[in-house]
Structure 1
């Protein structure tokens, strides 16, 4: 089977794409993107992601999740709490047949976002509840782990999570290799091409445990410019260069990894509910 690129983690429902999404999609297709696993950060995005699946049924594969950081009253983010999850919980089950993953979920213990023990405890409670939802629905999880890589992996292991993507992973190689033992997969966005900080990490993780992502509209090649799914080609080439492989090899293996991790993607692309 011939594989195109799989963007395992992007935010097509972001407001940054409202004006020209058809053009963004066209550029992605022209770049060879076959699947866009589209995740959410808060419950207000859930319906938009489902509408995107209906609009681009052969491309968009939806995930629902409540992120560890939520929009605050100003431009600043705040740590998630259990009340943020209340409205989301019934929707996971209502739309279970349309989902390919639970995400974006996880932990963000960055000091200025989670300054108190209560913040971290709330994040952990929200994370664990969504891990339980994923297990009940037999779905993989699409996971954020900033300043919390080790505890994120340990928590998933403790709760028996077997299928997980750790997106934009920036933990220590030793921590990543513990995740590899658990069968977890790690993805990297184009932002890793800006410097060599994660070269050692990428070099040590086996290619069979790597996927590609863009995290668009964030984490692109240029820090202050909107990122989009077509930029996935750059991170593919970067990983290939680090590992001494061809970009074609990285494209095929990472796509295979993605479809193994997210098996419902193929089902979704074949049959999309119309209501």
Structure 2
């Protein structure tokens, strides 16, 4: 019999699902045996929305499914998409300090060195007068401040590292990050192994069924360092189709297939890992 599941990284709030009531998404997740959804923000407004859902909007039977995080994504939806800046960081860090007792973690934070994202930031903001390397350093500064706050508050970090896997791991190491979930890691296995040596966890989304890179990670990373995520509404089993937390069973099932172990063993292990990382 399937055991309950925990989605350690999802964006379940109205701006992510403008055409679908959040209650419907949670009911489908509940029917799929999802007990908790670690709900991460990309902006301050997202973080406020998540706590609004938890504290005001949802019914008693559903609000406990939402486990709130707050953090600043390295790519911000300003105009045609921009990159994080120091002023934005000041605002979210103040929010995290104020609401720390209501949060289970800090995220989504990290680095995004995708070439077209960096180029777009420069092209869209000609007054920045920053090179690509200087833009990367701003991201590093913002991540470092999130790391410092995570250590001060003893909260786990939920980390984005697109096209920047080893850079993010280096930054986390250099600033002493302890409790870390590397979300949907797209880096090389040799760098993931360094993260494992530092005690970090790696969460696997349902897109694993169409990603040889994620399949290789799942095969090589010890089960005790794997967690399950959906990154809803992104990274679903079908590209371009909105993903929901109820699809997390696909992540568990694929890890079960790859490691040739019962799915119940996967489900038990990832719950144990999450309990450990939140201590």
Pairwise same-fold verdict (TM > 0.5): yes
Structure 2 contact 228–270 (Cα < 8 Å) conserved: yes
What is aligned with 1:114? 118
The structure that is helix-richer by fraction is 2
Q: Which whole-Å CA distance do the structure 1 matches of 2:91 and 2:214 have between them?
A: 37
Instruction: Report which structure shows greater RCO (CA 8 Å, sep ≥6).
Output: 1
**Deviation (angstroms), 1:3:** 5.4
The alignment status of 1:215 with 2:219, answered yes or no, reads no
Q: Which whole-Å CA distance do the structure 2 matches of 1:246 and 1:79 have between them?
A: 42
CA deviation profile, 1:87-140 (whole Å, cap 9, x unmatched): 212111110100110000000011111241121011111111111111111101
Structure 1 contact 13–40 (Cα < 8 Å) conserved: no
What is aligned with 1:33? 34
Cα 1:168–1:7, aligned 2, differ >3 Å: closer, same or farther?
Answer: same
Q: Which whole-Å CA distance do the structure 2 matches of 1:16 and 1:154 have between them?
A: 30
Q: Which whole-Å CA distance do the structure 2 matches of 1:14 and 1:247 have between them?
A: 32
What is aligned with 2:94? 90
SS of 2:176 mapped into structure 1? coil
- What pairs with 1:212-251 in structure 2 (closer than 5 Å)? 212-251=228-267
- What pairs with 1:32-71 in structure 2 (closer than 5 Å)? 32-54=33-55, 55=58, 56-71=62-77
What is aligned with 1:272? none
Shift >4 Å, 4+ stretches: none
Superposed CA RMSD: 1.4
- With structure 2 as the length reference, what TM-score do the two structures score? 0.90
**Deviation (angstroms), 1:14:** 4.7
Q: Which whole-Å CA distance do the structure 1 matches of 2:237 and 2:278 have between them?
A: 26
Q: Which runs of 5+ in 1 are unaligned?
A: 264-275
**Deviation (angstroms), 1:45:** 1.2
Equivalent residue for 1:187, pick from 185, 203, 206:
203
Q: Which runs of 5+ in 2 are unaligned?
A: 120-131
The alignment status of 1:134 with 2:138, answered yes or no, reads no
Q: Which whole-Å CA distance do the structure 2 matches of 1:57 and 1:119 have between them?
A: 38
Structure 2 contact 111–161 (Cα < 8 Å) conserved: yes
Q: Which whole-Å CA distance do the structure 1 matches of 2:227 and 2:99 have between them?
A: 26
Alignment size in residue pairs: 260
